[in-house]
Structure 1
Amino acid sequence: MHASIPDGFVPITRSSPFIDMLGPLYYRLSDDGLEIGLLAEKKHCNSRGIVHGGLLSTVADIALGYSAGGYPDGNRPMVTTSITIDFAGSAGIGDWIVFKTDVQKVGRMAAFANTYAHVGDRRIARASGIFSILDGKA
């Protein structure tokens, strides 16, 4: 399967040298919240041609943090405290991978969220994250 970037997705503008190296990453706002997307390339794959679990973990961390932080309208400063991920499938070169995130709670000191990575209708990973909200003293 060789996908293209679906309608409504635009490049992420808040980036870093690390995210630039991984990307490009895309986002769109849906009725369910922020979605982060990535078109899988050879550079994202392991030696078997399967998208590397480390890439899925990294993009899950970005999706969780950006969603809990209020991207694109907000920029709540936070750092990842804990992330867990479970893999239920795989993706390959040319697949469009989208992370759909559910933010459970954003409190004064911590935020909690889950994200699910999909290729089409297939759910390939689930990640859960906890973030410490920074008070400007970090």
Structure 2
Amino acid sequence: MSKEIPAGFERLQRGGPYMAGLGELYLRQEGSVIVIAMRVSERHTNMRGIVHGGMLASLADTALGIGLTLSCEARHSFVTVSLTTDFLAAARPGDWLEAHVQVDRIGGRVAFAGCRLQVGEKMALRASGVFAVMPPLTPEQLAAGY
């Protein structure tokens, strides 16, 4: 299994304790393009040897929240109100899984965003979500990786 990180990605110290338990996240940001990624491993698989759907949904939800936070000048945080997912293809151990985030709108009370999880050009999942806009995280929360 390759452990190489593609060029342009940097280790992301965000995601909170839950995502930290699932693996290291990486960020590539070029202007408004936000990509959150990770290398999947055996621990992410189900009994069929493919990445568990709950893992894919967790990555999508986390990527959407981080993408919204990075897109918001006030650096608000966001809490998921609704998440819709469509599972399109399997991901496997060793895959470099990228969440390409698209922020649609950030309002005063709610925000809307979508993403697609991809392995290369193959789309594994598409997701869209509605998020409650919360106050910015404290410096202590940010230092803890939330």
Specify the alignment match of 1:62 in structure 2.
62
Contact kept, 8 Å, 2:71 with 2:103, in 1: the verdict is: no
Contact kept, 8 Å, 1:3 with 1:96, in 2: the verdict is: no
Q: Normalised by the size of structure 2, how large is the TM-score?
A: 0.85
Q: Which amino acid aligns with 1:134?
A: M
Counterparts of 1:54-133 in structure 2, within 5 Å, are 54-70=54-70, 75-133=75-133
User: In the aligned structure 2, how far is the partner of 1:73 from the partner of 1:8?
Assistant: 23
Give the Å deviation of 1:49: 1.0
Q: Which moved more, 1:50-59 or 1:66-75?
A: 66-75
User: In the aligned structure 2, how far is the partner of 1:122 from the partner of 1:3?
Assistant: 20
Unmatched 5+ residue regions in structure 1?
Answer: none
User: In the aligned structure 1, how far is the partner of 2:106 from the partner of 2:72?
Assistant: 16
Contact kept, 8 Å, 1:4 with 1:96, in 2: the verdict is: no
User: In the aligned structure 1, how far is the partner of 2:12 from the partner of 2:109?
Assistant: 26
Query: Residue deviations 1:41-95, cap 9 Å, x none?
Result: 0111111110011000001001111111226986312210000100110110100
Contact kept, 8 Å, 1:78 with 1:134, in 2: the verdict is: yes
Q: Normalised by the size of structure 1, how large is the TM-score?
A: 0.89
User: In the aligned structure 1, how far is the partner of 2:6 from the partner of 2:74?
Assistant: 24
Contact kept, 8 Å, 2:50 with 2:91, in 1: the verdict is: yes
Unmatched 5+ residue regions in structure 2?
Answer: 137-146
Specify the alignment match of 2:19 in structure 1.
19
Give the Å deviation of 1:15: 3.7
Give the Å deviation of 1:32: 4.8
User: In the aligned structure 2, how far is the partner of 1:44 from the partner of 1:72?
Assistant: 31
User: In the aligned structure 2, how far is the partner of 1:101 from the partner of 1:91?
Assistant: 18
User: In the aligned structure 1, how far is the partner of 2:19 from the partner of 2:72?
Assistant: 16
Report sequence identity in percent: 37
Q: Which moved more, 1:78-87 or 1:13-22?
A: 13-22
SS in 1 for 2:104: strand
